[in-house]
Structure 1
Amino acid sequence: MKSALVTGANKGIGFEVARQLAQKGMYVYLGSRQVENGLEAIDQLKAEGINNVEAIQLDITNEESVKEARIEIGKKTKSLDILINNAGIYGGYPQSAFDATIEQFKEAYNVNVYGVVRVTQAFIDLLKKSSEPRIVNVSSSQGSITLHSDPSYKYYDYKGVVYLSSKAALNMYTVVLAYELKDTNFKINAVCPGYTKTDFNGHRGPGSVEDAGKRIVKYALMDRDGPTGKFFSEENNPETGEIPW
């Protein structure tokens, strides 16, 4: 049975991604900052008849927590097939270029950028042992510099310097990571799940977690002919999904 790790998986989009991967036959490790929340998520899935899931305490802002999660998963499997870097935060308010504080930037980058780097570097050895390793970095079309410099972009007026810049940085990490692994079986992409109704945005998004989960899982389960080093947002490009960086 293939295995996957999803960060920030005890609720919202991460939880739905874990559910859908498990439904497709993957053994899924649900990363959760608070293990109690992860165990509650597992109970919910098992109540639905989904048993190929397991909670892992994983605070992506804490180096020791990431190392302990790697040790724990390494005891259970010799390889990891899929890594979904889903955990993220908005960064609070204000988000004006004039008023956002350095502390806001530090907090957001510690999760949205450094957290992804910590987890990816910690688990890359297990991923390299998979025959078809996949990494999906859950990004946002809000991190597209090209779109946000275009007045015709539908979210052009939704500017937030902390969150947007952190996702742009995550996108560049994705590009470089995919480049460095371009001659391998890895497929590494940034995927925007769309403006989804979750706790993340106070349930203001119009999209469903089911649709958001499908968009992410699609790129997690790509075959060998699939793309790598690309940025996808089916909300913004329903035809091919690809959007500019």
Structure 2
Amino acid sequence: MTNKRQALVTGANKGIGLAIAKGLAEAGFCVWLGARDRVRGEHAVAGLRELGLDAKLLVIDVADEASVNHAAALLAGEIDALQVLVNNAGIAADMSKAPSEVRMQDMKAVFEVNLFGPVRVTQAFLPLLKAGDRARIVMMSSGVGSLALITDPTSIYSSVNLLDYTASKVALNAVTVAFAKELQPLGIKVNAVEPGHVRTDLNGNSGVLTPQEGAATALKFALIGDDGPTGGFFGSHGRQPW
């Protein structure tokens, strides 16, 4: 076992997740890169280690309960406590389909990763987080997770009409509030963040921000002090409307 601060980032083998992992490692954490694919995960870990950063792989499929429970058991055998959990893994189905055309099987697949994934991961790793003494949990949401923004004609997010992805992020914000209420007496802070329009595989690299820029808000709330907020939704310009 080690006394070094520990962090877990899901979906960390590329994009925003990898940028968050890099930032946490640079802040002095031993970072566990959660990845569904072992080969891709090992490649990402090797890249961080080449920079002199403390990174390790944790194979985990957030959509698979057995995989999540197995990963939690493995990590519990390696560390005493977890100080940071970033639920970053996310997917989108066919973003060109109108809501009336979305297949139910695709919507269920999106919810398994984007909504049920963060719930099952948070629940499975909660014993380690409770042992982490004032741990931090960050939920990677989206601007489309705000009902206020997607109904505001002046907001760019009102031009997006993705049934499955949007609904999963709106629900994730509610999950964030629920966990924040439960865990606040333990000093564990839980916040949702939206990274902005980042260039990732999820959107065909059509975004305007780099993964490093998109990771900034998540890193801020992974590292907040005891005087920081909990149960909130935040972007690069501060608190976001629900």
CA offset digits 1:172-195 (Å, max 9, x no partner): 100111111222211100000111
Moved more, 136-145 or 41-50: 41-50
Determine helix, strand or coil for the equivalent of 1:60: coil
Q: Tell me the residue number matched to 1:45.
A: 48
Q: Tell me the residue number matched to 2:191.
A: 189
| Inter-partner Cα distance in structure 2 for 1:45 and 1:84 | 18
Q: CA-atom RMSD, angstroms? A: 1.0
Letter in 1 for 2:108: K
| Inter-partner Cα distance in structure 1 for 2:157 and 2:5 | 38
| Inter-partner Cα distance in structure 2 for 1:118 and 1:163 | 18
1:161 Cα deviation from its structure 2 partner: 1.0
Superposed, which structure 2 residues align to 1:68-79 within 5 Å?
Answer: 68-79=70-81
Determine helix, strand or coil for the equivalent of 1:78: coil
| Inter-partner Cα distance in structure 2 for 1:42 and 1:98 | 41
Q: Indicate whether 1:21 and 2:18 are aligned.
A: no
Unaligned stretches of 5+ in structure 1? none
CA contact (8 A) 2:134 2:186 kept: no
1:158 Cα deviation from its structure 2 partner: 1.5
Q: Tell me the residue number matched to 1:108.
A: 110
Q: Tell me the residue number matched to 1:243.
A: 240
| Inter-partner Cα distance in structure 1 for 2:107 and 2:99 | 11
CA contact (8 A) 2:115 2:168 kept: yes
Q: Tell me the residue number matched to 2:15.
A: 12
1:154 Cα deviation from its structure 2 partner: 2.0
How many residues get paired? 239
Among candidates 77, 88, 91, match of residue 90 of structure 2: 88
Among candidates 229, 232, 235, match of residue 230 of structure 1: 232
CA contact (8 A) 1:82 1:135 kept: yes
1:95 Cα deviation from its structure 2 partner: 3.7
Unaligned stretches of 5+ in structure 2? none
CA contact (8 A) 1:18 1:30 kept: yes
| Inter-partner Cα distance in structure 1 for 2:88 and 2:129 | 17
| Inter-partner Cα distance in structure 1 for 2:141 and 2:199 | 16
| Inter-partner Cα distance in structure 2 for 1:110 and 1:9 | 18
CA contact (8 A) 1:94 1:100 kept: no
Determine helix, strand or coil for the equivalent of 2:43: helix
CA contact (8 A) 1:95 1:162 kept: no
Among candidates 137, 155, 175, match of residue 139 of structure 2: 137
Higher helix fraction (1 or 2): 2
Superposed, which structure 2 residues align to 1:201-220 within 5 Å?
Answer: 201-220=203-222
TM-score, scaled to structure 2: 0.96
Determine helix, strand or coil for the equivalent of 1:4: strand
1:94 Cα deviation from its structure 2 partner: 4.4
| Inter-partner Cα distance in structure 1 for 2:107 and 2:50 | 39
1:104 Cα deviation from its structure 2 partner: 1.4
1:91 Cα deviation from its structure 2 partner: 2.0
| Inter-partner Cα distance in structure 2 for 1:97 and 1:214 | 32
Task: Kindly report structure 1 stretches of 4+ aligned residues shifted beyond 3 Å.
Answer: none
Superposed, which structure 2 residues align to 1:164-179 within 5 Å?
Answer: 164-179=166-181
